[in-house]
């Protein structure tokens, strides 16, 4: 390390670089999360460490040097004399037979093949209540190439999430092609992996791929998280279901497009790498850092991973707005009204006032004015970036509408699409050079992206948005992003983050919703700066039921918007009863998006009732875990939202199709106390159709049964039509 310490760039080098301890040729570290999982890292001599164990908690006195030795693979014909380590950053220079964790070139373009040696380690243990977490930083250096590679880990004893990041520092500017967050081994007791695909109005589709030799690569080059590429991976071990078995979950918290590599090596080992999409760092530089990789191990099925992600997101990542102005904390999640599907660009004050009055009467507590209020925005061909109120539509500004909304005891939110510009806008006419990409690029929704890497662009947008927020009492922004980038560019994402951070810092009472044609920008990176996601542009209750069920692998109720849409759905043309539409919205952060003038008396009454139910229950549901149930009937999509102490829960059992068998199969619940008794009430039993002719106990009134029975037999529900939802409340007695 001498050369490193004496180099010109000594400021990036650690002061206390340690020589390997005398007589010791193995270094070990362990990360524990207070009893659920252990991760053991070890390294031979000065080499990069590898994760030699990741799974259920190990005894605290486990001999880690022994684990290191016991982890070693045999060697046979056709292999090198020793197996190269599957380290936190597998090195091509050590003949690693798969994807390396780092691919870079020198400033002049010469490929570099670094080989790192130990520099220093720092481990701290933290105490949260009775639970122990900790942080570990490992630094490695490559003297020949003048590089330092650091790995940063932290464990959370409450959420059971381990966070991990890799940082690369170079003594001279280099070109980075690929840098993986700490590389982890994947279990070999697993037949398949689940990653995520999707499309506009069809987000969070589970993609199951069997493990096989070679790589599965997911690369997102769209420059935003995208509907198509949610950056997550679930690895169920053999026999794992939602409620049972072992599983591993990973999520890369970055909004600019990622690459994931899940690779099975010729020797059978499996590795998982996550990082920014390749080549996103357009400029030579001396410091690069991955986004945070969030990982967890579960011994309670996919739900164990889902609950960890939900809790970590809600309790550690989202920064909730300063709510001192709210009348009470319950209203942290006000019932939402969004006018998009009611009026689109056709804004007239009397109509919007009428709609606001009706929305308030249904139970709405926040009114969001969507696209169409600024510039000359009569359709989606013009005016993006001209963030000034359209005086043709609002001759006296937004004041009269906001005053009306406030008089109805609703708060007011507004739509922006800050990173975008239409060629047909005053801003583009004045500054065509602010747009990202070639002049003759293919437009997306008739718009270009602003170059968020330019400080003057960020200042301009900030000033325009801040002027609106300063002029009016607004406490909510729907922040949209309706096209992909002309090319992936990390600077763009950093620029967007900077603008969001500035907005949050200066308007801390303003909540922000992340929208990108629905769920095109959902990840833990954007959710550090926002508090709600518009999960999908699909207000089709049947599609939404499925989308929000699968998104619950990562997203808690508190951040997931769900609206009651128009009677005839605008994106599918289907018609569903108001009861189904309302209950599907009530599973998450509830809102309305239809034109309330279309509702008849019956629909108004049902919507009011379900909204009142939601308001009564939201305070505990906000902090609840969403557990996906293993339904024996494939036409039923069911979940259980349960308080942390397990005293109270609600089950939503959505009937997504007619069943193959004639009578409903029992629905097993999960995560209950076997010995406790619970009272179960079918909240909407009055809505059973005439074709349900029998009298299962739940149709008659509450049942009181043990947790063991609920988990091993399950609830017998009344027969029902497709596109309906049974809602059951449970209380521990």
Could you tell me the two tokens for 43?
């390294």
Nearest CB to ligand DGJ, comparing residues 225 and 482? 482
* Residue 59: burial class (beta carbons within 10 Å; 0-12, 13-18, 19+): exposed
Nearest CB to ligand DGJ, comparing residues 140 and 374? 374
Nearest CB to ligand DGJ, comparing residues 475 and 537? 537
Contact (CB, 8 A) for 180 and 275: yes
Could you tell me the two tokens for 263?
């690779």
Nearest CB to ligand DGJ, comparing residues 242 and 482? 482
- Bridge partners of 56, per DSSP, are 37
Which 3-state string (H, E, C) describes 457-486?
Answer: HHHHHHHHHHHHHHHCCCCEEEECCCCCCC
DSSP letter at 385 equals T
User: CA 697, CA 685: separation in Å to the nearest integer?
Assistant: 11
Stretch that binds ligand DGJ, among 11-19, 83-91, 328-336, 514-522 (CB under 6 A): 514-522
Least distance (Å) between residue 398 CB and ligand DGJ: 17
- Bridge partners of 366, per DSSP, are 336, 411
Q: Please say if 156 is a catalytic residue.
A: no
Stretch that binds ligand DGJ, among 108-116, 230-238, 280-288, 510-518 (CB under 6 A): 510-518
User: CA 233, CA 442: separation in Å to the nearest integer?
Assistant: 32
Contact (CB, 8 A) for 85 and 95: no
Half-sphere exposure of residue 338: CA atoms within 13 angstroms, side-chain side: 25
Nearest CB to ligand DGJ, comparing residues 584 and 683? 584
Nearest CB to ligand DGJ, comparing residues 534 and 652? 534
Q: Under rule CB under 6 A, which residues in 381-420 are in contact with ligand DGJ?
A: 415
Stretch that binds ligand DGJ, among 264-272, 355-363, 511-519, 522-530 (CB under 6 A): 511-519
Nearest CB to ligand DGJ, comparing residues 314 and 478? 478
Selected binder of ligand DGJ within 98, 518, 525, 566 (CB under 6 A): 518
Stretch that binds ligand DGJ, among 182-190, 236-244, 358-366, 513-521 (CB under 6 A): 513-521
Give the interface size with ligand DGJ as a residue count (CB under 6 A).
11
Catalytic residue among 33, 195, 537, 550: 537
Nearest CB to ligand DGJ, comparing residues 44 and 381? 381
Listed in sequence order, the DSSP H helices in 481-600 are 490-506, 541-551, 578-586
Stretch that binds ligand DGJ, among 103-111, 217-225, 512-520, 638-646 (CB under 6 A): 512-520
Least distance (Å) between residue 573 CB and ligand DGJ: 18
User: CA nearest 632: which of 693, 688, 712, 727?
Assistant: 712
Catalytic residue among 32, 371, 475, 480: 480
373 touches ligand DGJ by CB under 6 A: no
φ and ψ at residue 378, rounded to 5 degrees:
-95, -10
Characterize the bridge pairing of strands 247-252 and 232-236: antiparallel
Nearest CB to ligand DGJ, comparing residues 165 and 229? 229
Q: Three-state SS for 454? A: coil
Question: Sign of the CA dihedral 570, 572, 577, 581?
Answer: negative
Selected binder of ligand DGJ within 85, 537, 603, 639 (CB under 6 A): 537
Q: Please say if 550 is a catalytic residue.
A: no
Q: Under rule CB under 6 A, which residues in 336-355 are in contact with ligand DGJ?
A: 340
The residues, ordered by sequence, that sit 6+ positions from 600 with a Cβ below 8 Å of its Cβ are: none
Distance of CA 550 to CAs 383, 559, 581, Å? 36, 14, 18
User: CA 93, CA 113: separation in Å to the nearest integer?
Assistant: 6
Least distance (Å) between residue 335 CB and ligand DGJ: 17
Selected binder of ligand DGJ within 41, 307, 515, 542 (CB under 6 A): 515
Least distance (Å) between residue 70 CB and ligand DGJ: 53
Least distance (Å) between residue 48 CB and ligand DGJ: 44
Task: Quickly list DSSP for 268-307.
Answer: S-EEEEEEEPTT---S-EEEEE---EEEEEESBHHHHHHH
Selected binder of ligand DGJ within 32, 365, 371, 489 (CB under 6 A): 371
Q: Could you tell me how far CA 525 lies from the centroid of its own chain?
A: 8
Contact map string, positions 312 to 341, toward ligand DGJ, x by CB under 6 A: ----------------------------x-
Q: Which residue is nearest to ligand DGJ (CB)?
A: 371
Q: How many residues does the chain have?
A: 733
Selected binder of ligand DGJ within 517, 560, 571, 687 (CB under 6 A): 517
User: CA 264, CA 335: separation in Å to the nearest integer?
Assistant: 47
Stretch that binds ligand DGJ, among 28-36, 40-48, 231-239, 515-523 (CB under 6 A): 515-523
Nearest CB to ligand DGJ, comparing residues 371 and 540? 371
Contact (CB, 8 A) for 70 and 111: no
Nearest CB to ligand DGJ, comparing residues 145 and 482? 482
Vertex 234: Cα angle to 590 and 487 (nearest 5): 80
Selected binder of ligand DGJ within 370, 513, 639, 723 (CB under 6 A): 370
Q: Three-state SS for 340? A: helix
Contact (CB, 8 A) for 435 and 425: no
Please name the residue that has the structure tokens 């609106």: 468
The crossing angle, in degrees rounded to 10, of helices 541-551 and 578-586 is 20
Selected binder of ligand DGJ within 142, 281, 480, 625 (CB under 6 A): 480
Active site residues: 480, 537
For ligand DGJ, the binding residues (CB under 6 A) are 340, 370-371, 415, 480, 482, 515, 517-518, 534, 537
């Amino acid at each position: 390390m001498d050369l490193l310490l004496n180099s010109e760039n000594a400021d990036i080098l650690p002061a206390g670089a340690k020589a390997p301890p005398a007589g010791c040729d193995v270094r070990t570290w362990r990360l524990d999360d207070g009893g659920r999982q252990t991760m053991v890292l070890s390294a031979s001599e000065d080499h990069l460490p590898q994760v030699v164990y990741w799974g259920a908690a190990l005894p605290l006195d486990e001999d880690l040097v022994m684990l290191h030795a016991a982890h070693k693979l045999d060697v046979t014909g056709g292999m090198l004399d020793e197996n190269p380590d599957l380290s936190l950053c597998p090195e091509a220079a050590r003949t690693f037979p798969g994807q390396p964790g780092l691919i870079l070139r020198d400033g002049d373009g010469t490929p570099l093949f670094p080989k790192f040696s130990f520099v220093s380690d720092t481990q701290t243990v933290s105490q949260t209540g009775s639970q122990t977490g900790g942080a570990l930083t490992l630094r490695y250096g490559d003297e020949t190439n003048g590089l330092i590679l650091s790995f940063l880990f932290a464990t959370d004893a409450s959420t059971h999430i381990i966070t991990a990041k890799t940082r690369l520092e170079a003594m001279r500017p280099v070109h980075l092609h690929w840098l993986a967050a700490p590389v982890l081994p994947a279990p070999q007791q697993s037949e398949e992996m689940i990653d995520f695909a999707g499309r506009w109005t069809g987000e969070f589709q589970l993609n199951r791929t069997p493990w096989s030799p070679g790589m599965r690569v997911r690369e997102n080059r769209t420059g935003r998280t995208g509907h198509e590429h949610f950056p997550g991976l679930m690895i169920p071990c053999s026999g794992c279901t939602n409620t049972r078995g072992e599983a591993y979950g990973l999520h890369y918290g970055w909004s600019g497009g990622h690459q994931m590599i899940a690779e099975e090596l010729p020797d059978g080992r499996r590795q998982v790498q996550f990082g920014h999409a390749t080549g996103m760092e357009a400029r030579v530089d001396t410091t690069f850092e991955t986004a945070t990789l969030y990982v967890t191990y579960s011994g309670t099925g996919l739900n164990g991973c889902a609950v960890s992600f939900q809790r970590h997101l809600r309790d550690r990542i989202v920064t909730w707005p300063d709510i001192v102005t709210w009348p009470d904390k319950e209203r942290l999640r006000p019932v939402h009204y969004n006018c998009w599907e009611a009026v689109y660009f056709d804004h007239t004050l009397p109509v919007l006032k009428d709609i606001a009055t009706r929305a308030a009467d249904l139970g709405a507590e926040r009114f969001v004015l969507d696209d169409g209020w600024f510039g000359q925005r009569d359709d989606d061909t013009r005016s993006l970036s001209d963030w000034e109120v359209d005086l043709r539509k609002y001759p006296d500004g937004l004041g009269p509408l906001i005053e009306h909304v406030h008089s109805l005891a609703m708060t007011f939110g507004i739509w922006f699409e800050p990173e975008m510009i239409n060629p047909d806008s005053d801003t583009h006419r004045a500054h065509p050079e602010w747009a990202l990409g070639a002049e003759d690029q293919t437009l997306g929704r008739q718009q270009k992206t602003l170059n968020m890497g330019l400080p003057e662009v960020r200042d301009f947008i900030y000033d325009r948005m801040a002027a609106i927020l300063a002029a009016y009492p607004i406490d909510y922004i729907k922040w949209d992003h309706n096209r992909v980038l002309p090319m992936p560019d990390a600077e763009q994402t950093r620029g967007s983050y900077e603008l969001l951070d500035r907005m949050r810092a200066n308007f801390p009472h303003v909540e922000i919703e992340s929208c990108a044609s629905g769920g095109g920008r959902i990840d833990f990176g954007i959710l550090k700066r926002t508090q709600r996601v518009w999960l999908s542009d699909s207000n089709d209750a049947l599609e939404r039921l499925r989308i929000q069920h699968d998104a619950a692998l990562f997203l808690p109720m508190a951040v997931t918007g769900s609206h009651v849409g128009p009677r005839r759905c605008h994106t599918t043309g289907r018609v569903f009863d108001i009861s189904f539409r309302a209950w599907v919205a009530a599973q998450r952060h509830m809102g309305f998006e239809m034109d309330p003038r279309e509702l008849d008396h019956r629909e108004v009454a049902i919507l009011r009732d379900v909204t009142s139910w939601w308001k009564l229950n939201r305070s505990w549901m906000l902090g609840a875990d969403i557990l996906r149930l293993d339904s024996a009937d494939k036409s039923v999509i069911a979940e259980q939202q349960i308080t942390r102490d397990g005293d109270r829960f609600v089950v939503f059992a959505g009937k997504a199709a007619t069943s193959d068998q004639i009578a409903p199969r029992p629905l097993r619940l999960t995560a209950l106390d076997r010995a406790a008794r619970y009272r179960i009430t079918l909240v909407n039993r009055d809505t059973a159709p005439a074709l349900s002719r029998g009298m299962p106990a739940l149709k008659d009134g509450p049942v009181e049964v043990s947790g063991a029975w609920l988990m091993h037999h399950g609830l017998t529900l009344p027969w029902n039509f497709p596109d309906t939802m049974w809602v059951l409340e449970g209380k521990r007695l």
